[in-house]
Amino acid sequence: MFWEITFSSLGGLGLFLFGIQIMASGMQKAAGDRFRRILEVLTNKPILGALTGVVVTLLVQSSSTVTVMVVGFANAGLMNLSQAISVIIGANIGTTITAQIVSFKIGVVIFPAIGIGSLLNFFGRRRIHRYLGQTLLGFGLLFLGMTTMSEGMSPLRDLDAFHNLLMQFSVYPLLGILCGAVFTALIQSSSAATGVIIALTMQDLIPFHSAVPLILGTNIGTCVTAILAGIGANVAARRAAVAHVLFNTFGVILALIFLDPFTDLMMQTASTIPRQVANTHTAFNLFGTIIFIIFIRQFTALVCKIIPGDDTKLDFGPKFLDPRILKTPAAAIGGVKQELLRMAIIAREMLEEAMQVFIKSDLKKVQHIEQMEELINDLEKEINIYLADVSQHSMTREQSVMIGSLMSAANDLERIGDHAENILRLSEEAVENRLPVSNAALEELTDYYKKVDSMLERATIAFEKDDGEMAAQVIKDDDEVDDQEKILRHEHIDRINTKKCYPAVGVIYLDLLSNLERVADHATKIAHMVLEN
């Protein structure tokens, strides 16, 4: 009997988790997979942030996933602490929807959902039909797993020891909370943990008073994912992770204080224990959200005191492209110049951080670099669209020439971002595979990078101040950088041939040199633009 229960329960749990994964994947693809944009645009106010957290969690079917996304966005500077908190508490509500669904007895739709979903997934001609089929298939598998778990646990009815253990949770709620937290932390899914609890209630294996502490515990256990995501991250990310822990912990403490009246209230919400458990899960997170939204400023201040430091946010979108001055080309061009200067600063920072990944074998900045690359790409598109709109208005010949030059500069800066991303990927490969780099190679590469960075810095200053003399110096230095790249390449090949350098990292080193040399070429093009104008 032991193995029968074990295999049925594990198999059901596996189907449940796989069903959630399949359903989430289909919903994400059907929605267009634009979660970053949603989180970025709709989180400026706490209530909107919470609603956004609910919606996105419904799409990905995992509050842990959303929380990790939020921690990652905070780490990349895309979201401040108040935004992160509002989305996290909204995600806690969104994850209760799964529990609400599985608490209903709708086993009759399991096999039709799997059958229809499979047909759409395999034979659908349009992508949207395949995505919807995938969602339906996941929905059916989720309920099949739920039914399998429930039926597999039915023999536990005859075990007095099991009944006595579960009864202890109503006598000692802290024990139930601990068990719920540990179980959720182990399987990394509060939805699955709640599903198991509901499966137990469906077989009358656990009374409602014992289920409540377990449900409270799942809310603490789900924080483990955020804690892991925040380890080694920046201040903003660690604050987001701590906020998640504090929010759920304070909520559980508050529920414990009012445990008896809260339990009595939840018993009035439905006539069956599975529905009561689902309602408890929803009510707990809903009440907590309302309280924390009211006191979000104070809560944010508390988190900042616990994790002191500066909270930075990377602003997406253009700052200086004002559509109201399109009819005044001189002013519009001035705004574009300011946007290009911002773009140049970001590109240079991106290049520096990508090089640090290789030099210091530090992967902490990877996500930040990726977000800066996306920002640079967006800015290049926005600048070109804006300049195209400017060109529709009356302007001088010099202004027309300048628009072409600015478009070219935007392209050069975007290409610098691409080369920085290439350097990041090469650096990641070296770090992840623990490829050894000789001291000589590291010193040469660092020195070469500093020369290229100096060229990019001076080209940016020349562009900002229309300094022809400095631009001419950048152009002159390009020949030196080209010659040095050839020398370093030749010397490194010699090191590989004499086995002074590991061949695998030797290839990466040569590619790094090549990308840095191309960055210098684009800096030189910007300098030429300054001289020509």
Q: What is the pLDDT along the chain (533 residues), one digit of tens a residue?
A: 567 667 776 787 677 667 766 765 665 565 544 555 555 555 566 677 778 778 777 666 667 667 766 776 666 566 677 777 888 888 878 777 777 776 666 666 778 888 888 888 888 778 778 878 887 887 788 777 766 766 666 565 555 665 566 567 767 888 888 888 888 877 666 777 787 788 778 877 788 888 888 889 888 888 876 776 676 666 777 888 888 888 889 889 988 888 889 888 999 988 888 888 888 888 888 888 888 888 888 888 888 888 886 655 556 678 888 888 888 888 889 889 999 999 999 999 999 999 998 888 877 778 778 878 888 998 999 999 999 998 888 888 888 889 999 999 999 999 999 999 999 999 888 888 887 777 877 888 889 999 999 999 999 999 988 888 999 999 999 988 988 888 888 887 877 777 667 677 778 888 999 999 999 999 999 999 888 87
Q: What is the pLDDT of residue 149?
A: 65
Structural domain of 60: 12-306
Q: What is the pLDDT of residue 412?
A: 94
Whole-angstrom Cα distance, residue 365 to residue 76?
Answer: 8
Residues 256 and 384 in one domain: no
Structure tokens at 50: 């919470």
Looking at 306, 339, 361, which one is the last position of a domain? 306
Q: What is the pLDDT of residue 106?
A: 61
Q: What is the pLDDT of residue 470?
A: 92
Whole-angstrom Cα distance, residue 275 to residue 105?
Answer: 10
Q: Is residue 48 part of a domain?
A: yes
Whole-angstrom Cα distance, residue 65 to residue 28?
Answer: 12
Torsion of CA 465, 470, 471, 474, to 10 degrees: -140
Residues 388 and 285 in one domain: no
Residues 181 and 266 in one domain: yes
Residues 109 and 198 in one domain: yes
- Which amino acid, residue 100? Q
Residues 424 and 376 in one domain: yes
Q: What is the pLDDT of residue 33?
A: 44
Q: What is the pLDDT of residue 61?
A: 60
When divided into structural domains, the chain yields a total of 2
**What is the model's pTM?**
0.56
Q: What is the pLDDT of residue 374?
A: 84
Structure tokens at 466: 């229309």
Phi, psi (5° rounding) for residue 393? -105, 160
Residues 363 and 449 in one domain: yes
Residues 80 and 224 in one domain: yes
